[in-house]
Amino acid sequence: MQFADIQEARDFLAANPEVRSIELMLIDANGVPRGKLLHRDELLAIYQNGRPLPSSILALTMQGEDVEATGLVWEVADADCWTYPLPGSLTLQPWRNTPTGQLQVSMHPTQGQPAAPADPRHALVRVIERLEADGFHPVMAVELEFYLLDKQRDANGRPQPAMQMNGVRPEAPQVYGVYELEQVQPFLDDLYAACEVQGLPVRTAISEYAPGQLELTLEHRFDALQAVDEGVRYKRLVRGVANKHGLQACFMAKPFGDRAGSGMHLHVSLADEQGNNLYASEDPQGTPLLRHSIGGMMATLLDSLAIFCPNANSFRRFQANSYAPLAKSWGVNNRTVSFRVPGGPAVSRHIEHRICGADANPYLAAAAILAGIHHGIREQIDPGAAIVGNGYEQATEFLPTDWLTALRALEASTWAREALGEEFLKVFLAIKKTEYRQFMAEVGEQDWRWYLNHA
């Protein structure tokens, strides 16, 4: 685990004398940023001595409630655990009304005990180090879809797509529409500007397959950990810029039943120590190494589905002919499969993993993907024939579409315990089982609509 040098903090304070507050954030198991708002006078001490945060900060549900079964609350007396700054994470939050900094921290492997094993970033570091020890250097890019919503709800109290600049609320998908991008130009201008300030490599903006749905791509990085760090910070930035514009950025996997879901597509390849793409091939199906990588991801897909789809809402995204995958399948230049090998020149050959919802924790999703790839390479797993044509019609082995089945598969997986760590898995499963029980215990509108008068 590499932490930042204090010179970063000195340079930041000297260059930004107007900054009085700094948001310190740690990413929890759900991918939620949690932390504190600090005064600038506290910054140097964090670089020198770390910053204590309670062990329970990594034992929280999506609602921010303690989960005692994690073992990180009362039985360890909610102990202080030391965090340290990550290199390159100290920057400005341009969307704030007053000049404010941002600093991402991670648990120290030893001083961060007992919470350190529950830090999701550690799980990814562990997997990357194992790959690199075998001579494989993962290259990744993060691609996130989201809805831009009004903060004001509709007449029924439900979320609704943001009003366009022309005063019209969008209703049609208008996928790839350039006019739709023009209608959110002020938001996009501020988003690109904020990304430039934070050094985030955001590139193409696309109007996706639903009114108010957008996707902006992040450039690939030869350092997979850097790519995922940037994906996490980008998600925080999108929410902040949207809030500045009086809007809400929604990363739910399926916020609307009759509209497209939002995915997080992770692009991955493996390079050698010199940066040469080990998947590169004139064959569109790539090298044997690429195919073994897909075989490993397919073999571990059920075990890791609760990582890729971590919430009850995640599973509503899985519908036929929806651009969300439904089966263990792969293909070349095919958006109806789970593992897509995009077209393009040989040197760009890579895999697009299309399973994750936009609600997945990028650290955990990347860790599970890379661990699956490593498993496939070591066992030389054949993925079978590539799907040609409509993958929905040709699917033979479907994914489960319910949360509990996925959680049970993760809990029973010896591969997951080895890949992600026994201690981490204990915490993650305790949190998700608690959320499952809470979710199933809540009686809501659909129950009343279906059963109130007729059950």
Q: For residue 300, what are the contacts with CB-CB under 8 A and spacing of at least 6?
A: 368, 371, 372, 375, 413, 415, 416, 419
Under a CB-based contact definition with an 8 Å cutoff, are residues 335 and 395 in contact? no
110-115 own/partner pairs: CB under 8 Å, 24+ apart: 111/50, 111/81, 111/82, 112/81, 112/82, 112/83, 113/81, 114/55, 114/71, 114/72, 114/76, 114/79, 114/81, 115/53, 115/55, 115/57, 115/58, 115/59, 115/72, 115/79, 115/81
The number of residues making up the chain comes to 455
Can you tell me the distance from the alpha carbon of 213 to that of 208, in angstroms, rounded to the nearest whole number? 5
Three-state secondary structure call for residue 56: helix
Q: Is 276 left (phi over 0), alpha (psi -120 to 50) or beta?
A: beta
Under a CB-based contact definition with an 8 Å cutoff, are residues 396 and 330 in contact? no
Number of other residues whose CB lies within 10 A of the CB of residue 257: 8
Can you tell me the distance from the alpha carbon of 177 to that of 170, in angstroms, rounded to the nearest whole number? 12
What pLDDT is stored for residue 432 in this prediction?
98
User: What CATH class is the domain 127-441?
Assistant: alpha beta
What pLDDT is stored for residue 320 in this prediction?
66
Can you tell me the distance from the alpha carbon of 201 to that of 374, in angstroms, rounded to the nearest whole number? 27
Tell me the longest C-alpha to C-alpha distance in the chain.
69
What residue type is 424 in one-letter code?
F
And the tokens for 127? Answer: 């997997």
Share of the chain above pLDDT 90, in %: 83
Return the DSSP state at 27: E
What pLDDT is stored for residue 176 in this prediction?
82
Return the DSSP state at 57: G
Matching residue, tokens 């204090």: 6
What pLDDT is stored for residue 21 in this prediction?
97
Under a CB-based contact definition with an 8 Å cutoff, are residues 365 and 381 in contact? no
What pLDDT is stored for residue 51 in this prediction?
97
Q: Is 108 left (phi over 0), alpha (psi -120 to 50) or beta?
A: beta
What pLDDT is stored for residue 167 in this prediction?
86
* Domain limits, CATH 3.30.590.10, in the chain: 127-441
Tens of pLDDT, residue by residue over 253-266, are 999 988 989 999 99
H helix intervals, 155-262 = 178-182, 185-198, 224-244
Angle in degrees, CA 138, 141, 144, rounded to 5 = 145
Angle in degrees, CA 71, 76, 80, rounded to 5 = 115
Distances (CA, A) of 81 to 65, 68, 276, 330, 419: 19, 17, 40, 43, 24
What pLDDT is stored for residue 322 in this prediction?
65
Q: Which CATH number fits domain 6-112: 3.10.20.600, 3.10.20.70, 3.40.50.10140, 3.90.1150.10?
A: 3.10.20.70
What residue type is 128 in one-letter code?
I
What pLDDT is stored for residue 321 in this prediction?
60
Instruction: Kindly give the parts of the chain with pLDDT less than 70.
Output: 320-322
Beta bridge partners of 332: 341
Can you tell me the distance from the alpha carbon of 77 to that of 59, in angstroms, rounded to the nearest whole number? 13
What pLDDT is stored for residue 179 in this prediction?
85
* Domain limits, CATH 3.10.20.70, in the chain: 6-112
Under a CB-based contact definition with an 8 Å cutoff, are residues 187 and 247 in contact? yes
Can you tell me the distance from the alpha carbon of 155 to that of 290, in angstroms, rounded to the nearest whole number? 51
Under a CB-based contact definition with an 8 Å cutoff, are residues 104 and 34 in contact? no
